[in-house]
Amino acid sequence: MIKLRLPGWARLPRQPLLRHLLFGAVGVAFFYVLSISLSDFNDFQLGEVGVYAIAIAGLSVLTGVNGQISLGQGAFLAVGAYTLGELEVHQSINLVLQLLIAVAVSALVGLIIAVPATRLRGPYLAGMTLLLALALPFLSDKYSSFFGGDQGLITLPPNAPGSIDPQRWLTWIQLFCALLVVVLLANVLSSRFGRSFRAVRDNEVAASLAGVHVARTKVIAFVISSACAGLAGALLVLSTGVVNTGEFPLSLSIYLLAGMVLGGAGTLTGAWWGAILVVYLPNQWSQSIANAFHANHLVGANLAVIIFGAVLIVVMLAAPAGVQGGLRWLGHRLVTVSTGPKPAGNISVTLQDQPVSKQDRDGPESDRAATSID
């Protein structure tokens, strides 16, 4: 085996937690430098990228890693948002506690939905979660005194310490929560839970014969996804300042699912690419195109859906594994070109000077089980 030796300081830690924390620290530094160079509005959009990255990362665990299709992720965002809104109206507690309670309530609702959902799969599960998203406006109108009706509930952004700009402070909170969630999910997927998720996705019968409790594994994945969505919803309404059903239409769930597919299903880095597309494509980029062609308001409103669908088709044709999968393929190609043609026989090229592990012997399927931030 031909090996390209890297100096010790350039190698990533072998322990997953240390490796993921290193990626998280790099992310903190990157987003700090980026945010202080942006205007308030761009900071607001950057914070939304972090919020949607949380929701898409949870959905990626549920759909991309565990194989359960959900069209109701937007409803769980609403659960977290309304929980935080009710706490702000009726309670005066610390923001961290508010976010934790929003996560707990969303996880509980996810557990209630997940228990009967374990008997469903494919389009039947998607239909069930779709009904959850459709029922949200009805519940808001039915119990308008509690949910605030059409006016919704008012939320206030957190107070910024010192002379820090309030919008920038909120953006830092949202991005920090996003990086924290990604690090936690990366460690979960590197553990036996991640291996169980993939085993159930690939073959439920084989997973059951291997000792995996299929129903419990599905429930855990669903609860993790709904908890992430609840946190995203709570952080989102801190930016918008109001909680109502208009903030969580059915199209939001569709956008989140499409963003997951575009970014790369089953990858946590892909959640960031998907979040960028969800934030910028339906609003800013489509509006710029509509203005360039002097389209009327009705055309501009529908142009976002058309562009999103067109981008989805193009990306799926050019990179079936999503943006992250395409970048990974491009990186492998560049390494292959830079190191010359692959030698004949069973000789391979690696970037790390370390013994061949079981994952190297088992091939691509085992490689997927060794989850990192990617």
Dihedral of CA atoms 296, 297, 298, 302 in degrees, nearest 10, equals 100
Residue 18, Cβ neighbours under 10 Å: how many? 11
Answer yes or no: is 219 within a domain. Answer: yes
Q: In which domain, by residue range, is 41 found? A: 2-369
Answer yes or no: is 327 within a domain. Answer: yes
Answer yes or no: is 262 within a domain. Answer: yes
Taking residues 248-264, report their average pLDDT: 88
Burial (0-12, 13-18, 19+ Cβ within 10 Å), 333: exposed
Answer yes or no: is 374 within a domain. Answer: no
- Cα–Cα distances (Å) from 12 to 31, 327, 333, 359, in that order, read 21, 20, 21, 17
**Average pLDDT of the residues of the chain:** 82
DSSP helix/strand/coil, 37: coil
* Confidence (pLDDT) at 293: 61
Pair of tokens at residue 356: 């061949």
* Confidence (pLDDT) at 330: 84
Residue 334, Cβ neighbours under 10 Å: how many? 10
pLDDT score of 286 more than 70: no
Answer yes or no: is 293 within a domain. Answer: yes
Phi, psi of 236 (to 5 degrees): -65, -45
Q: Which of 3, 21, 9, 48 is nearest to 281 (CA)?
A: 48
How much is the pTM? Answer: 0.83
Summarize pLDDT for 244-253 with one digit per residue, the tens.
Answer: 888 888 888 8
Q: DSSP letter at 285?
A: I
* 255 sits in which H/E element: helix 250-263
For residue 50, give every residue at least 6 positions away whose Cβ sits within 8 Å of its Cβ, in sequence order, or none: 31, 171, 174, 175, 177, 178, 179, 235, 275
> For residues 89 and 98, is the Cβ–Cβ distance under 8 A?
no
More confident residue, 348 or 170: 170
Whole-number Å distance between alpha carbons of 32 and 356: 38
Per-residue confidence band for 229, with pLDDT thresholds at 50, 70 and 90? very high
Q: DSSP letter at 245?
A: G
* Confidence (pLDDT) at 115: 87
Answer yes or no: is 207 within a domain. Answer: yes
Identify residue 353 by its one-letter amino acid code: D
Q: Which of 144, 171, 148 is nearest to 160 (CA)?
A: 171
Taking residues 1-14, report their average pLDDT: 59
Summarize pLDDT for 351-369 with one digit per residue, the tens.
Answer: 444 444 444 445 444 444 4
Report the number of distinct structural domains present in the chain.
Answer: 1
pLDDT score of 186 more than 90: yes
More confident residue, 205 or 123: 205
Pair of tokens at residue 53: 């990255």
Pair of tokens at residue 195: 């291996």
For residue 180, give every residue at least 6 positions away whose Cβ sits within 8 Å of its Cβ, in sequence order, or none: 24
pLDDT score of 303 more than 60: yes
Per-residue confidence band for 14, with pLDDT thresholds at 50, 70 and 90? confident
Residue bearing tokens 């239409």 = 249
Indicate the range of 157-171, 219-233, 355-369 predicted with least confidence: 355-369
Answer yes or no: is 247 within a domain. Answer: yes
* Confidence (pLDDT) at 349: 43
Half-sphere exposure (Cβ direction) of 67: Cα atoms closer than 13 Å? 19
- Cα–Cα distances (Å) from 371 to 190, 201, 330, in that order, read 5, 15, 19
- Chain mean position to CA 208: 28
Whole-number Å distance between alpha carbons of 54 and 51: 5
Pair of tokens at residue 174: 């949202």
How far apart, in Å, do the first and last CA atoms of the chain sit?
Answer: 25
Per-residue confidence band for 201, with pLDDT thresholds at 50, 70 and 90? very high
Taking residues 247-265, report their average pLDDT: 88
Answer yes or no: is 260 within a domain. Answer: yes
